[in-house]
């Protein structure tokens, strides 16, 4: 059986990868643009109610990040935690600051890797017919640091732009405490001059002050 066609097939497959990456970047840019426009309109609409139910929140969460390096490399899992603080203009619209860290698992003995992120941006809650469940969407922007090391070889780190688009749902437990049942975010990073499309999951406890 002739194998002459296999290199050509592999070459054709590799030639498609840049096109796929461009398509993914354009797709997420359109999604982010529409989300930011929607959030901006909600912020303008909510400005007339700026004196209503102002308050703050603090949260502590478990977080899982599925990081996709790209370039044909396998994805890696990162487990850790995050915390956030939020200041709300109304009961629905606020500005959030998130700080998280996680440790990469599944590495060979003697190797370590960690990820840190710091993100800021708007969050909007939506009312529902279920009085205790409050879904939300958010768009956050900031940076991410990825560090790695190996025994006897030292360590190195790299910083990159990062942004997230996603949402979740809080379940009210008491007047000032909620359970963040789920938060799911698309996490975009730009390390090494290339784009990485990652997934982030979070769950934890939220403490509210004045809301």
pLDDT in tens, 52-64: 568 999 999 999 9
Among the listed ranges 33-42, 58-67, 79-88, 199-208, which one has the minimum average pLDDT value?
Answer: 33-42
pLDDT value, residue 71: 79
pLDDT value, residue 13: 43
**How many other C-beta atoms are found inside a 10 Å radius of the C-beta of residue 126?**
12
pLDDT value, residue 122: 97
97 has which bridge partners? Answer: 85, 120
pLDDT digits (tens, 9 = 90+) for 152-189: 888 999 999 999 999 999 999 999 999 999 999 999 99
For the segment 72-81, the average pLDDT, to the nearest whole number, is: 92
What's the 3-state SS for 128-186?
CCCCCEEEEEEEEEEEEEEEEEECCCEEEEEEEEEEEEEEEEEEECCCCEEEEEEEEEE
Going by pLDDT thresholds of 50, 70 and 90, the confidence category of residue 1 is very low
Domains plus CATH for the chain?
5-209 (2.40.160.20)
For the segment 8-15, the average pLDDT, to the nearest whole number, is: 45
Distance separating alpha carbons of residues 63 and 102, to the nearest angstrom: 8
pLDDT digits (tens, 9 = 90+) for 19-34: 545 555 565 565 566 5
pLDDT value, residue 41: 55
Checking 195-200 for CB contacts under 8 A at 24+ apart, the result is 195/21, 195/24, 195/25, 195/70, 196/67, 196/68, 196/69, 196/70, 197/24, 197/28, 197/68, 197/70, 198/65, 198/66, 198/67, 198/68, 199/65, 199/66, 200/63, 200/64, 200/65, 200/66, 200/164, 200/166
Share of the chain above pLDDT 70, in %: 73
């Amino acid at each position: 059986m002739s194998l002459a066609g296999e290199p050509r097939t592999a070459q054709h497959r590799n030639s498609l990868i840049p096109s796929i990456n461009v398509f993914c970047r354009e797709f997420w840019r359109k999604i982010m643009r529409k989300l930011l426009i929607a959030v901006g309109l909600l912020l303008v609409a909510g400005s007339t109610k700026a004196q209503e139910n102002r308050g703050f929140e603090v949260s502590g969460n478990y977080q899982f990040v599925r990081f996709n390096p790209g370039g044909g490399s396998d994805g890696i899992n990162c487990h850790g935690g995050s915390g956030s603080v939020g200041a709300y203009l109304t009961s629905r619209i606020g500005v959030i600051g998130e700080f998280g860290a996680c440790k990469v698992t599944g590495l060979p003995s003697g190797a370590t890797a960690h990820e840190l992120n710091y993100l800021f941006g708007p969050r909007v809650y939506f009312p529902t017919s279920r009085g205790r469940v409050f879904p939300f969407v958010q768009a956050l922007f900031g940076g991410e640091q990825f560090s790695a090391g190996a025994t006897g070889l030292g360590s190195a780190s790299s910083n990159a732009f990062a942004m997230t688009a996603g949402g979740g749902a809080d379940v009210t437990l008491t007047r000032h405490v909620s359970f963040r049942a789920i938060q799911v975010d698309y996490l975009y990073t730009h390390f090494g001059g290339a784009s990485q499309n990652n997934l982030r999951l979070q769950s934890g406890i939220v403490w509210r002050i004045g809301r």
